[in-house]
């Protein structure tokens, strides 16, 4: 998967009531009726208390997990939005993080003031084999604002995301899902946000960059992801 070119993104991305006996004074008829009701009630067998049915509790909302991305530049703690982006979070955790996929991968591209991209290449710039692409959840109402993490996908194929992700260095609304009058325009699916460690992200993004093979803007020296741990 090639790195994103922002100039192309912006061009292309575009749920009394019941009947009652009513009397006016104590008439003989009312007294007789009352006696009849009492006699009828006393002749009935004892009633068995009604069994209260148990109403099923509403399903618990997914817990948004906290993870710690350990890098050679410092730790970045992320909260993942499991309720808003369930497929994307499941893919990130189960298909990659929990399998150790991100260990020794690099942040391979920086767009200054825009984003920092990682999650797909080794330190010698070789692509890691990935699993099946996932459905794009960019219509989940989450925006690409500063500090959020989102999935990378091919420019012309919105449902092609696998392992690569980017962290927004600024508010990037042009990367969001757009509701159209006739056709919707998919965006880049946000699935989490930085809780602590944004200073680490900024520090990586502000390093000098170098051109390496097909990569035009690699942080130098190279920054590696060491591991990802669950904090919650």
Domain count of the fold of the chain: 1
At 49 the pLDDT is 55
Report yes or no on 27 lying in a domain.
Answer: no
Q: Could you give the percent of the chain with pLDDT greater than 90?
A: 69
At 54 the pLDDT is 63
Report yes or no on 157 lying in a domain.
Answer: yes
Report yes or no on 204 lying in a domain.
Answer: yes
Report yes or no on 48 lying in a domain.
Answer: no
Q: Residue 99 belongs to what domain range?
A: 62-230
The encoded tokens of residue 84 equal 């808003």
Report yes or no on 142 lying in a domain.
Answer: yes
pLDDT tens for 118-157 read 999 999 999 999 999 999 999 999 999 999 999 999 999 9
Q: How confident is the model at residue 53 (pLDDT cuts 50, 70, 90)?
A: low
DSSP of the chain, one letter per residue?
Answer: -PPP-HHHHHHH-----S-----SS--HHHHHHHHHHHHHHHHSPPPPPPPPPPPPPPPPPPP--EEEEEETTEEEEEEE-TTTSHHHHHIIIIIIGGGTTTTTEEEEEEETTTEEEEEEEETTSPBPP--------TTSS----TTEEEE--BTTBTT---S-EEEESS--GGGS-B--SS--B----EEEEEEE-HHHHHHHHTS-EEEETTEEEEESS--EEEEEEE--
CATH code of residue 132: 2.40.100.10
Give the span between the Cα atoms of 102 and 119, in whole angstroms.
Answer: 6
Report yes or no on 187 lying in a domain.
Answer: yes
pLDDT score of 14 more than 60: no
Report yes or no on 45 lying in a domain.
Answer: no
pLDDT score of 158 more than 50: yes
pLDDT tens for 19-52 read 443 344 444 444 444 444 444 444 445 555 555 5
Q: How confident is the model at residue 205 (pLDDT cuts 50, 70, 90)?
A: very high
């Amino acid at each position: 998967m090639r790195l994103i070119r922002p100039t192309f993104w912006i061009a292309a991305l575009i749920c009394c009531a019941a009947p009652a006996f009513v009397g006016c004074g104590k008439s003989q008829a009312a007294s007789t009726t009352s006696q009849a009701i009492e006699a009828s009630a006393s002749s009935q067998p004892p009633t068995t208390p009604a069994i209260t049915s148990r109403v099923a509790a509403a399903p618990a909302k997914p817990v948004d997990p906290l993870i710690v991305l350990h890098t050679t530049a410092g730790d970045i703690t992320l909260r993942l939005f499991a309720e808003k982006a369930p497929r994307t979070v499941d893919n990130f955790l189960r298909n990659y993080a929990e399998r150790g996929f991100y260990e020794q991968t690099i942040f391979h591209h920086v767009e200054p003031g825009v984003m920092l991209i990682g999650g797909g290449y080794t330190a010698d710039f070789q692509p890691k084999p990935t699993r099946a692409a996932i459905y794009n959840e960019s219509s989940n109402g989450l925006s690409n604002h500063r500090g959020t993490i989102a999935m990378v996908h091919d420019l012309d194929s919105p449902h092609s995301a696998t392992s690569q992700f980017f962290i927004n260095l600024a508010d990037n609304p042009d990367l969001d899902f757009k509701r159209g009058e006739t056709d919707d325009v998919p965006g880049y699916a946000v699935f989490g946000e930085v809780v602590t460690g944004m200073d680490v992200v900024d520090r990586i993004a502000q390093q000098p960059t170098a051109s390496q093979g097909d990569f035009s803007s690699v942080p130098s020296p190279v920054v590696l992801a060491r591991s990802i741990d669950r904090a919650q």
